[in-house]
Amino acid sequence: MKQNQVCRFNKYFYRELYPNRYLELCRAIAINHDNTLIIAAAESNIKVIQIILPLLSQSEAYPATRTTQSIRQIEILKGKHSDFVSSLMFFKKTPSMRNSFISGSDDNTIIIWSPLNSFEFTIPSKWEVQCILKEHTNSITCLVLLTSSEDLIISGSQDKKIKFWSLTSTQPSLPWKCLQTIEEHTSTIFGLSINQEGTRLLSCASDFQILVMEGSNKTQWNIRQRISVDQWGYRLCFINNHVFTFQPIETAPQLQGSAHIHIYIYNTQKEQYLKSKTVLVQGGGQPCRPYFPQLYLNSINLLLSKNGHYLNFIRIKFSSSKSDLECNLEQAINFGTMNTYGTISDNGEFLVTWDQKQNNIQILVQGGQQET
């Protein structure tokens, strides 16, 4: 596919705009477990937004743009972070923690937020700080949560450290405690990814290294493999235990996206991950920025990866023996700016983004395939 070619199909057929201009820089967005709430960074503050989307008739033309009351701001959380919020993540699996969330900031802190009035089938209206984690000495750049049990938070930072925060019931005043720190990177850590089982962790940094770690929430994490790369990158993502993806950055003449995503597959004989193939994506040669992690939707085998000005949607297809896979670029959306941030819902229904060109939050809603 040529770099300037537009993908044939567009699966997102209308968009909802934030009712008022969203003028603050928004470097992080997250969606809750049932797609009813969005949290969005607003520089050092966090806006909580409710999604109330009506059903569309099949006759509505693409693209229908609406600014109705289908998006409503519930609360803005101010004064707890003192610098830009860079990472946001909801708890989704644990019933007692649903609609609670985590924020990481350039002020070196991580905050766990809990709703004050959380009941089943109701939308909370107020949130409070449950605890503040302060052991990093520089900006928080990435966060992941152990999805199976949601009792382990892993953070990466400009201080070159990876920290493991475990939920403990022995200290009610500080329920989350740092149990381990890994200091094997020699520069800023930009990306983290944990597998579904919560037993393997990936990290990438600007030191031209990818680390593969093994452990669990109850044991120490150990480095299993160090992968030296010719191009460092902001983003990587587990597809399953045997496959992960990595988006490199070309460092000359400036930091710009590479034209390919690299696919690493686990070699059982050598007992390590090896780069096995590459996938051509849009955004190569364009300036690129961090703070939009790669996301893989296991339920629909779809990888979302920012590169340059583009969001790339890559469909993963495994062979019947699961020993090989096929990766196809299914869609690419050009936002016209490297400053694009956002997320996608777990079922792929909603794509929520903020970009500097539009200077607003938009929700793209999935529809049937239509030619563009």
Q: What's the average model confidence in pLDDT over 274-278?
A: 96
Domain of residue 26, CATH code: 2.130.10.10
pLDDT score of 170 more than 80: no
Pairing of strands 176-182, 162-167: antiparallel
In this predicted structure, what is the pLDDT of residue 71?
81
Asked if residue 1 is part of any domain, the answer here is no
In this predicted structure, what is the pLDDT of residue 237?
98
Lowest mean pLDDT among 2-11, 143-152, 155-164, 326-335: 2-11
pLDDT score of 218 more than 90: no
pLDDT score of 271 more than 80: yes
pLDDT score of 140 more than 90: yes
Q: What's the average model confidence in pLDDT over 38-43?
A: 96
In this predicted structure, what is the pLDDT of residue 68?
46
In this predicted structure, what is the pLDDT of residue 55?
46
pLDDT score of 13 more than 60: no
Give the pLDDT band of residue 11 (cuts 50, 70, 90).
low
Q: Structural domain tally of the chain?
A: 1
Dihedral sign (CA 253, 234, 360, 62): positive
Asked if residue 285 is part of any domain, the answer here is yes
Give the pLDDT band of residue 172 (cuts 50, 70, 90).
low
Has this prediction a pTM greater than 0.85?
Answer: yes
Q: What's the average model confidence in pLDDT over 140-147?
A: 94
Asked if residue 201 is part of any domain, the answer here is yes
Asked if residue 240 is part of any domain, the answer here is yes
In this predicted structure, what is the pLDDT of residue 142?
98
Alpha carbon dihedral 119, 123, 165, 344, in 10-degree steps, equals 140
Lowest mean pLDDT among 156-160, 225-229, 289-293, 345-349: 345-349
Asked if residue 3 is part of any domain, the answer here is no
Range of the domain at 61: 9-371
Lowest mean pLDDT among 51-55, 90-94, 120-124, 139-143: 51-55
Residue 196: CB atoms within 10 Å: 14
Asked if residue 2 is part of any domain, the answer here is no
Give the pLDDT band of residue 80 (cuts 50, 70, 90).
very high
Q: What are phi and psi of 179, to 5 degrees?
A: -100, -15
Q: What are phi and psi of 52, to 5 degrees?
A: -130, 85
Dihedral sign (CA 278, 280, 286, 289): negative
pLDDT score of 368 more than 70: no
- Burial degree of 336 (CB within 10 A; 0-12, 13-18, 19+): exposed
